[in-house]
Structure 1
Amino acid sequence: MSNSFFRFKKFTIQQDRCAMKVCTDSCILGAWTAGRLQGAARVLDIGTGTGLLPLMLAQKTGATLDTIESDPEAVVQAGENIRQSPWAGRIRLLAGDVRTYPFTSFYDFIIANPPFFESDLRSPVDKKN
C-alpha cells in the first residue's frame, strides 16, 4: 500500500483520496518542466490530481498557476495540499472537465501528466484509467 502522504523539502502531498499517487515520473516531469519555465507568467496544469505539479512549479518559478481537475475527491485533496503550501496565493484550483471548462485566460505554458495507456494495461481502479 502507498503512503498516505509524500514529503518534499518545502511541502507535503497528502494522497489518500487520490487515485494517482506521487510517483517518479511525475517528480521528474515537475523538476524538468520547472527548469524550462523561466519567463512564463501564466501556467495551466491539466488533471492536477494531488496538486503536485503546480506546487513544484510554484516553488521553482514566479508563475501564476491555474490547475484543473475533474475528479471530485482529487479536487478536495489538491485544494488541501495547495492551501497548506507557501504558494497558495499563486495557484488557482478549478473543478471541471478541461474539454468543456469556460476558460477566460490565456496561458504561456500548459502541462499535463495523464495516464499513458488508454486501451492496454487497464487498471482495476476506474479512476486510474
Structure 2
Amino acid sequence: MNTKTPPFVFKQFTVKQDRCAMKIGTDGVLLGAWVPLDESITSILDVGTGTGVIALMAAQRSSAAVIDALEIDADAYEQAVENFESSDWGDRLFCYHASFQEFFEEIDDQYDMLISNPPFYKEDYKTKDNKRDLARFEDALPFTHLFYGASILLSDQGQFAIIAPYTEEKNIITIAAKVSLYPKKITRVKGTPSSDIKRSLFLFSKDEQECSVDELIIENSRHDYTEEYIELTKSYYLKM
C-alpha cells in the first residue's frame, strides 16, 4: 500500500510533504496569510519551517530580499530546500539546518520579521511517532526559548508573528514581556460562529503600545467559509 502523502498544490507553488512529520495544516496557512508584510520588511526568518510553506507564502507576497528558514529535522530540512528550489523564488529563499538555540547564539544577522508556527503540545501528548512528537512538542522549542531568541534576532523595528492555542495567550504575553516584546495585534480564531476560540494569532514588537484585538471565524458551517477567511487565503488556496 502506498501511504506517501501527496504534494499540496497552492495557486503559485507546490509543497511536497511526504518526508515531513507535520503536514500542511490550517494553522500554518492561516499564519502565513495573516502576517503583515509591507515594503518596509526586507528580511524574514521562518522558525521551524517544516515543509517551508510559511516561507513560500511570504516569498509570494513580499518583496523582501532575504527570506531565511530554520529546521532542525534532517528530512524536513531537505524537503524544505527542495520545495524552495522548485519555486519561483528560489533565489530569495534559504534554509538552515540547525536548532533555534544554535542559530540565535551563532548568527549575527537581524530580521525585520520572524514568523513561527511552533510546536505546542504538552508532555502528556506522546505518540508512537517520535518525529511527529518532536515537531509538535512544546518541549522541543519552549515558548521561553522562542521569545528569548526572537528578542536577539529582531531588528529595532522588527516584529514577531506566531500562532498558538488560545489557552496559552496570557502565558505567552507574560513570557514575551520578560524579553521586552509586546503584543501589537491579536486575532482570535474560531472554527465556526458557535465554537470556542481555538487559536490566537499574535504580532509582537519591541514597542509597548495598545494592542488591537479582533476575531476570525473560519466557517459559517461545514465547507461554507466566511468572507473574511476567503479574503485572507484566496491568494493561496486553489479553490478559494
TM-score higher than 0.5: yes
Farther off after superposition, 6-15 or 97-106: 97-106
Distance 1:5 1:115 in 2: 22
Q: Structure 2: where are the runs of 5+ without partners?
A: 134-240
Cα RMSD of the aligned pairs, angstroms, is 1.4
Q: CA deviation at 1:103?
A: 1.2
Q: When you count strand as a share of all residues, which structure comes out higher?
A: 2
Which one-letter code corresponds to 1:21 in the other structure? K
1:120 paired with 2:121, answer no
Which one-letter code corresponds to 2:24 in the other structure? V
With structure 1 as the length reference, what TM-score do the two structures score?
Answer: 0.92
Aligned length: 127
Q: CA deviation at 1:2?
A: 7.4
Higher relative contact order (CA 8 A, sep 6+): 1
Distance 1:11 1:61 in 2: 15
| Corresponding residue number in structure 1 for 2:55 | 54
| Corresponding residue number in structure 2 for 1:110 | 114
Which one-letter code corresponds to 1:43 in the other structure? I
Residues 14, 50 of structure 1: 8 Å contact kept: yes
Distance 1:128 1:67 in 2: 19
Residues 30, 57 of structure 1: 8 Å contact kept: yes
Which one-letter code corresponds to 2:56 in the other structure? L
Distance 1:8 1:52 in 2: 10
1:82 paired with 2:84, answer yes
Runs (4 or more) in structure 1 with deviation over 2 Å come to 1-4, 120-124
Query: SS of the residue aligned with 2:114?
Result: strand
Distance 1:100 1:54 in 2: 20
1:19 paired with 2:21, answer yes
Farther off after superposition, 57-66 or 110-119: 110-119
Q: CA deviation at 1:4?
A: 2.3
Distance 1:49 1:122 in 2: 19
**Percent of aligned pairs with the same amino acid:** 40
Distance 1:120 1:41 in 2: 40
Q: CA deviation at 1:127?
A: 1.6
With structure 2 as the length reference, what TM-score do the two structures score?
Answer: 0.51
Query: SS of the residue aligned with 2:101?
Result: coil
Distance 1:2 1:43 in 2: 31
Distance 2:128 2:31 in 1: 25
| Corresponding residue number in structure 2 for 1:69 | 71
Q: CA deviation at 1:56?
A: 0.2
